[in-house]
Amino acid sequence: MTKPGFYSVVQFVPDIERGEAVNVGVIVGAPGLGMRVRMAERNEYVKQWFGAEAYDETRLGFAKSGLAERLKDVEPSAEALATFRAQEAGQLQLTPPRPMVVKNLDDEVIALFLRLVSDPEVQRRERRTPKPDLRRMVRQLKAKNVPIEPRPPVTVPILDEPLTADFAFQNGVRNIVKAVGLSGRQETALEEASDYGSKGLLIAKHPDPTAGKSKLILVADIDDRQLLERVERLLDDHGVRLVEADELPSFTAEVEREAH
């Protein structure tokens, strides 16, 4: 499910009079979904453009973290962000909010960051693991008349937030299957997994009035075995199952046997 949203670019302007800027972060939001902020962790790109003498490393770092903290109190709307922007002064400036279609805030903010903030080292570490394509699996199951529900409408209880899933099937509980691509950076990937785990826990604790008790199953392709083990343990603690991409044939057979 997509929603109309907005984005803004955070720029570092060392000399306000000259007006020259370099992108150091992005903001993506949508009413009803929230707002995400992604700041560059390093300032190498600033140094490449303006030289080391144009900024103070420590002050710029504090300025970026301070801006991200203040943005937590801003309502996720283009109007509220525009008001916040007008009240900000200093070397960090926001571009006017621009419209965009938002499907998943976490995915959108990373994609926009990679496109607009050009620190090569950060880009390398922020590349995401490929999101497994479950369309073939869904077609195979439907061809065999396995009772599945493609693209089911799912809302995370308490948060009242939509969750886009690939399909769902019943085997005593409603299993909600979602393919995900996680960050290649371990810290960010664990944060993303924790977010999915929290949502899965809410889904399990608050049965749907129509569909009944539900469980979240994530499908991911993670080459880093250490990261895979940590993500799997974290999700398991939240009652969320992780299926690896290379396990899809056996998972497909499992759904064929158990779905009813």
Copy the structure tokens of residue 89: 């002064």
pLDDT of residue 250: 96
pLDDT of residue 258: 96
Residue spans per domain, the chain: 3-125, 135-258
* Low-confidence spans in the chain with pLDDT less than 50: none
Compute CA 242 distance to the chain's CA centroid, rounded to the nearest angstrom: 17
In angstroms, rounded to a whole number, what is the distance separating the alpha carbons of residues 2 and 164?
Answer: 9
Copy the structure tokens of residue 141: 């199951």
pLDDT of residue 259: 95
In angstroms, rounded to a whole number, what is the distance separating the alpha carbons of residues 7 and 112?
Answer: 9
pLDDT of residue 52: 75
Q: Cβ contacts of residue 78 below 8 Å, gap of 6+?
A: 6, 29, 97, 99
pLDDT of residue 239: 96
Taking the chain, what is the end-to-end CA distance rounded to the nearest angstrom? Answer: 26
Q: Is the distance from CB of 179 to CB of 132 less than 8 angstroms?
A: yes
Q: Is the distance from CB of 242 to CB of 129 less than 8 angstroms?
A: no
Residue type, 109: V
Copy the structure tokens of residue 152: 């089911």
Q: Is the distance from CB of 45 to CB of 119 less than 8 angstroms?
A: yes
pLDDT of residue 15: 78
Q: At what angle do helices 248-258 and 135-143 cross, to 10 degrees?
A: 30
Compute CA 20 distance to the chain's CA centroid, rounded to the nearest angstrom: 31
In angstroms, rounded to a whole number, what is the distance separating the alpha carbons of residues 176 and 152?
Answer: 8
The 8-class DSSP code of residue 246 comes to G
Q: Is the distance from CB of 198 to CB of 157 less than 8 angstroms?
A: no
165-192: b or e for each residue (b if 16 or more CB lie within 10 Å)? bbbbbbeeebbbbbbbbbbbbeebbbeb
What's the Cα-to-Cα distance from 144 to each of 138, 188, 250, 251, 253, rounded to whole Å?
10, 39, 16, 15, 11
Q: Is the distance from CB of 51 to CB of 12 less than 8 angstroms?
A: no
Fold designation for 135-258: Trna Endonuclease; Chain: A, domain 1 (3.40.1350)
Q: Is the distance from CB of 201 to CB of 238 less than 8 angstroms?
A: yes
Whole-model pTM: value is 0.57
Q: Is the distance from CB of 102 to CB of 4 less than 8 angstroms?
A: yes
